[in-house]
Amino acid sequence: MTQRPLILVRRPSPLLATGELTHQERVPVDPARALEQWLAYVDVFRRHGWAVSEVAPADEHPDGVFVEDTVVVFDHLALLTAPGAVSRQPEVATTEAACTALIDGGVALSMARIEAPGHLDGGDVLKVGRTVYVGETARTDAEGIRQLTALLGPRGWQVVVVPVTKVLHLKSGVTALPDATVVGYAPFVDDPQLYPRFMAVPEVHGAAVVDLGDGAVLMSADAPQTTALWTERGYAVETVAITEFEKLEGCVTCLSVRLRPLA
């Protein structure tokens, strides 16, 4: 894979404020503030030893900054998705080019893709150990999940389908701590019993957490009670303000694709 952890990111478009919305009311978004917040987000990874690879800008695509939706990495496989929103489907081409550049640069990756008529958004895919929880949502359909399962089964992954009706993506409602505890804001989780270990958090934006490695996690600055919970559990918590992205149903997970060295 890589010698050190690496993230793929894409700068926010000046058209960010016009991005897709499904479950939230539209409110004003400040593109300049969004760029400042994005730079601070990327800087957290740099300070924790992550390499940063930028996907080519796609200013014509308001949602392009949510790069996680366009590719999901499983071991050495980069799976290019087929976004459920028509406006987002062209974003995949530049993500594919970025993955090709990584391969050409010596990163041990192969690529596959979800093919039409299937649809899959990366925000609907949560990896916990060798289990892949995949949300069946307005953006990810049964055919996309079938193709995902066919690709991952022979590679030793177990796919579990999760109903999602209360939020945009599966990871809008749940993510996972480094110890494999699935965490989520209970009113936004359809069936917490699907997860072997589930912990409810007290704040909407506390549901999203990214494992930075070495006992550190990243989360939204807009969840102080949840930050205190993870600190009490022994994690070093980094927080970033991502208000402009949260206004568009985004969170700390969807702003990057994480590639980690394999043991």
- Bridge-based pairing of strands 131-136 and 158-163 is parallel
53 Cβ contact partners less than 8 Å away, ≥ 6 residues apart: 6, 7, 8, 9, 98, 101, 102
251 is catalytic: no
51 Cβ contact partners less than 8 Å away, ≥ 6 residues apart: 2, 4, 5, 6, 7
Cα torsion angle, 197, 199, 200, 203, sign: negative
169 is catalytic: yes
Q: Which among 119, 169, 205, 251 is annotated as catalytic?
A: 169
Long-range contacts of 90-97 (CB under 8 A, 24+ apart): 90/58, 90/61, 91/58, 91/61, 91/63, 91/64, 91/67, 94/10, 94/55, 94/56, 94/58, 94/64, 95/8, 95/55, 95/67, 95/70, 95/71, 96/71, 97/55, 97/56
Q: Which among 61, 99, 251, 254 is annotated as catalytic?
A: 254
DSSP annotation string for 37-79: HHHHHHHHHHHTT-EEEEPPP-TT-TTTT-GGGGEEEETTEEE
> Tokens in use for 55?
């996907």
Query: Taking the CB of residue 43, how many other CB atoms lie within 10 A of it?
Result: 12
- Residue type present at position 215: G
What residues are labeled active site? 169, 254
